[in-house]
Structure 1
Amino acid sequence: MPAPPPGCPAHRLYGPAAEADPMGLYEKLRAEHGAVAPVLVQGDLPAWLVLGHRENLDVARTPSRFSRDSRRWRDMQEGKVPADHPLTPVAAWQPVCNFQDGVEHERLRGAVTESLERFDRRGIRRYVTRFANQLIDAFARSGRADLVRDFAEPLPMLVMTQLVGMPDSYGPRLVEAARDMIRGTETAVASNEYVTDALRELVARKRAVPGRDFTSWLLEHSTSLSDPEIIEHLRLVLIAAFETTANLIANTLRMVLTDRRFRANLSGGHMTLPDALEQVLWDEPPLTTILGRWATGDTELGGQQIKAGDMLLLGLAAGNVDPEIRPDLSVPVHGNRSHLAFSGGPHECPGQDIGRAIADTGIDALTSRLPDMELAVHEGELQWDSSLMSRHLVALPVTFAARAAPAAAPPVAPVAPAAPSTQPPPPLRREQTARPSWWARLLGRG
């Protein structure tokens, strides 16, 4: 396949230059190559970055041409992607729904989707309100907070812990473990083991005493998933919800705090919070790029000749600002959900409505309790971590008038009651050697 000259940093999707300004790089590639651009990923392996909105949907919606089965990747077949390659943990085939096509994908995906659809959305919002207020109570007296660390990151995991049927005692520890896994600290491997152990115990407990929760519904689903399949899909749902929903919450809060027009539209009733979330999903999707799809045969896309076994990257952020569909980015995109933030086709994110519910309910609780929040630093001082697939705020410091937490609210009626745990959460086993996790390498938090 055609590729840019070796050593040309403009065509690399990794490294300091690419990570400093990913959107600028996407536009440079669009100007040079059009809707589909040849790029290099880690190890200078060739790939195609799909920049056009229509072309992204074409790839996502036609698995017969562009498969999710990474065993088709020619470079991997030829031994160019060794076990210690940065992309191996996320590109090596796994027996989960997002690496499958056809009948097996329908079996696994059906179990996940149908189980998620059994939740009562009002019940989910009660959980979100409960945990959002608990988090706010923890910093309301101080008059300051980091909305990434203290709110956007813990809220999704606390809610998802309840939805999968874990006792409350597991929530805070799973938040800590998920952060540790993604950031690739010296205890990231131990944290990964903790999550696996917790999920294995959860599945065993739910098999003995089922409840009205996601884990129990996976266990009883007609597809008869095995315990390892259930554990891997629980991990996939938990970590994906954690990272993407945390990014959505943080990006929306940043927009509310820094864009006067945005805040005025919300306070003046010209824009609802769900409208604001959709605008952020257009402008700053939680995942900028998705790896990957693999061509099932020689084909053409966006004027480029794609060869069988080539890898393609879905450029969600780039496709959302495609001038073919958004010639004027200053015009709000009210009521339009045709963005690519949740991908599309048979692999479109199955939990997107739950993610939206967590984000808009949580942000509403926060802004209602602390309407006087102000950014504690100049907007230009905010920093992001960027990687091949994600761009997220490092911190979002705010100040506000300190206030006492209100009296404790009555317990929230459970939407997915969990059986009591027979033992406390397993202790975190510390490891002495620093080993970056695959989540860290994927999301650039190593």
Structure 2
Amino acid sequence: MPAAAAPSPPPGCPAHAGGAGSGTIGLRSLFGPEADADPMALYEKLRAEHGPVAPVLLPGDVQAWLVLGHRENLEVARTPSLFSRDSRHWHAMREGRIGPDHPLAPLTMWQPLCVFVDGTEHRRLRQALTDSLSRFESRGIRRYVIRFTHQLIDGFQDAGQADLVKQFADQLPLRVITQLFGMEEEYGPKLVEAAKDMIQGTETAVESNNFITETLQRLVERKRAFPGHDVGSKLIEHPARLTDDEVREHLRLTLVAANEPTVNLISNTLRMLLTDRRFRATLAGGHTTLPDALEQVLWDEPPQTTTIGRWATGDTQLAGQQIKAGDMLVLGLAAGNVDPAVRPNLSVPLHGNRSHLAFNAGPHECPGRDLGRAIADTGIDTLLSRLPDLRLAIPEADLRRDNALMSRRLVSLPTTFTPPRRVGRRSTGEPGSSARQPLPLPEAEPLPEAPSRETGVVPQRVSTPRLDRDSRWAAMKHRLRIRR
């Protein structure tokens, strides 16, 4: 709650706006060797040293507050009047210390985008985006996912081995998204690399951001001249009357929000399936559904570890820390998901509980969450149907991750499997020429709404309907032969 007269903050606190120098001494960095080695261990050190909110350094020795507590993350996310998404509140931005060439600029420079505004303007822009995405109903999106999944599997199935990060998870989301955008598939690989680079705060982040912006600007110009059934055209047609800049920036938001997190969600789920005996046993045995299993992954290994940023609109207090007007706050999504206050025993499965922080919360909750779930759910389902005896090809200890400012990315996932016996040449991406046929998919239903999280406490289980004995998971109970 706002403090009437906040005391002067201690030395080294992010409330001192002096930038790099004496004020940064003793602060732990969210980048560099310690963060790269084990970010989760770093979060726990910060929690032990400072409690639910800790002072940290970002690239360029930018000072910020990292929110580690589950309840505190919800408080910040749900109170835009105190913690705004408008980066123009940031003292570092106002004082000119974050220029266009700063590595954090692509993530923090104000743009005509729903994630950088609050109130009425946020509702106008956010409604245009959600309405345009909703024009593509779940069943149609899943058809795209199934088609592209079969095409990807066709490319490696005869080898009996595949890296499911590079050859599958990395490729699938962008193929679906470029289809929804009405773009040629050739744009996919370069956009993937640029989107990854941009969110990592690297020295080339600005260049990557410029490439994405220029590519999408050309797309908007083409769609305004030749509209079609795609997200860009729907944004242009929306009653909110978005400008070309607003259309372009919301396409960029969708690209970033739906691609890299979905890649990580697919990779993390497949890794857990191949390495966690209990996880795959409950899934293969029909004790849980794949959508419920995805929610467990979103708790334990959220696709994004942090989200930058929120900015204090005035002097306030959070978990005992004095926050000054213009301070930046970083939401610690991964740290909040393992907060002992809500998960005292991390080994207890959560069975479809959706009160995790993986997609953020409040009015700025990730707009691509349902699209990401649909891509991951359907893609993994189709993959396991085609290749039910997937096995990890290397020891689990040899799997590596790239740890970046906002995410932990599995580098590779080498697997082996029995190549399906071919009975004829397939001319399309659809199934039909291998002896092992994919399991039939049920009719796609609208994704259930997330439960209310007003209390900030992990609620009771949110159940998804169990599929009957003729469903894909009942069939997989008899067919899935993943090595135990």
TM-score band by shorter chain is 0.7 to 0.9
Residue aligned with 2:159, SS: coil
Identify the residue that residue 48 of structure 1 maps to in structure 2.
65
Which is further off, 66-75 or 194-203? 194-203
What amino acid is aligned across from residue 200 of structure 1 in structure 2?
Answer: Q
Identify the residue that residue 435 of structure 1 maps to in structure 2.
none
Alignment of 1:49-198 (within 5 A): 49-166=66-183, 170-180=184-194, 182-183=196-197, 195-198=212-215
- What is the aligned counterpart of 2:285 among 265, 268, 289? 268
Alignment of 1:39-438 (within 5 A): 39-166=56-183, 170-180=184-194, 182-183=196-197, 195-403=212-420, 407-408=426-427
Asked if the contact 1:158–1:175 (Cα under 8 Å) also holds between the matched residues in 2, the reply is: no
Q: Distance in 1 between matches of 2:59 and 2:222?
A: 41
Q: Distance in 2 between matches of 1:123 and 1:106?
A: 26
What amino acid is aligned across from residue 82 of structure 2 in structure 1?
Answer: R
Shift of 1:159: 0.6
Identify the residue that residue 17 of structure 1 maps to in structure 2.
34
Q: Distance in 2 between matches of 1:205 and 1:360?
A: 32
Shift of 1:221: 0.4
Shift of 1:210: 2.7
Q: Deviations over 1:174-228 (max 9, x none)?
A: 2343225534899988876665454334333333343332122111100111122
Q: Which has the higher contact order (CA 8 A, sep 6+)?
A: 1
Q: Deviations over 1:394-439 (max 9, x none)?
A: 1111111223567346879xxxxxxxxxxxxxxxxxxxxxxxxxxx
- The verdict on how the C-alpha distance between 1:410 and 1:137 changes in structure 2, with shifts beyond 3 A counting, is closer
Residue aligned with 2:60, SS: helix
What amino acid is aligned across from residue 286 of structure 2 in structure 1?
Answer: G
What amino acid is aligned across from residue 189 of structure 2 in structure 1?
Answer: V
Identify the residue that residue 434 of structure 2 maps to in structure 1.
none
- The verdict on how the C-alpha distance between 1:189 and 1:24 changes in structure 2, with shifts beyond 3 A counting, is closer
Report the TM-score when normalising by structure 1. Answer: 0.86
What amino acid is aligned across from residue 242 of structure 2 in structure 1?
Answer: L
Q: Distance in 1 between matches of 2:25 and 2:164?
A: 39
What amino acid is aligned across from residue 361 of structure 1 in structure 2?
Answer: T
Residue aligned with 1:141, SS: helix
Q: Distance in 1 between matches of 2:34 and 2:119?
A: 39
Asked if the contact 1:147–1:398 (Cα under 8 Å) also holds between the matched residues in 2, the reply is: yes
Shift of 1:299: 0.7
Could you tell me which runs of 5 or more consecutive residues in structure 2 were left unpaired when the two chains were aligned. 1-8, 14-22, 432-484
- The verdict on how the C-alpha distance between 1:404 and 1:234 changes in structure 2, with shifts beyond 3 A counting, is farther
Residue aligned with 1:255, SS: helix
- The verdict on how the C-alpha distance between 1:209 and 1:366 changes in structure 2, with shifts beyond 3 A counting, is same
Q: Distance in 1 between matches of 2:395 and 2:159?
A: 20
- The verdict on how the C-alpha distance between 1:243 and 1:309 changes in structure 2, with shifts beyond 3 A counting, is same
Asked if the contact 1:127–1:159 (Cα under 8 Å) also holds between the matched residues in 2, the reply is: yes
Which is further off, 53-62 or 180-189? 180-189
Shift of 1:276: 0.9
- What do you get for the CA RMSD once the two structures are aligned? 2.3
What amino acid is aligned across from residue 426 of structure 2 in structure 1?
Answer: A
Q: Deviations over 1:299-337 (max 9, x none)?
A: 111111111111100000000111111111000111210
Percent of pairs identical after alignment? 64
What amino acid is aligned across from residue 171 of structure 1 in structure 2?
Answer: E
Identify the residue that residue 44 of structure 2 maps to in structure 1.
27
Shift of 1:7: 4.7
Q: Distance in 2 between matches of 1:287 and 1:331?
A: 22
Residue aligned with 2:415, SS: strand
Asked if the contact 2:124–2:240 (Cα under 8 Å) also holds between the matched residues in 1, the reply is: yes
Which is further off, 282-291 or 183-192? 183-192
Q: Deviations over 1:358-411 (max 9, x none)?
A: 001000111111111111111111111112211111111111122356734687
Q: Distance in 1 between matches of 2:92 and 2:313?
A: 14
Q: Distance in 2 between matches of 1:147 and 1:319?
A: 29
Q: Distance in 1 between matches of 2:323 and 2:397?
A: 41
Q: Distance in 2 between matches of 1:8 and 1:377?
A: 40
Asked if the contact 2:53–2:321 (Cα under 8 Å) also holds between the matched residues in 1, the reply is: yes
What amino acid is aligned across from residue 173 of structure 1 in structure 2?
Answer: Y
- The verdict on how the C-alpha distance between 1:227 and 1:30 changes in structure 2, with shifts beyond 3 A counting, is same
Q: Deviations over 1:237-278 (max 9, x none)?
A: 113211010010001000001101111111101121111100
Q: Distance in 1 between matches of 2:58 and 2:66?
A: 10
Q: Distance in 1 between matches of 2:322 and 2:203?
A: 43
Shift of 1:32: 1.6
Could you tell me which runs of 5 or more consecutive residues in structure 1 were left unpaired when the two chains were aligned. 413-446
Q: Which has the higher helix share?
A: 1
Shift of 1:57: 0.6
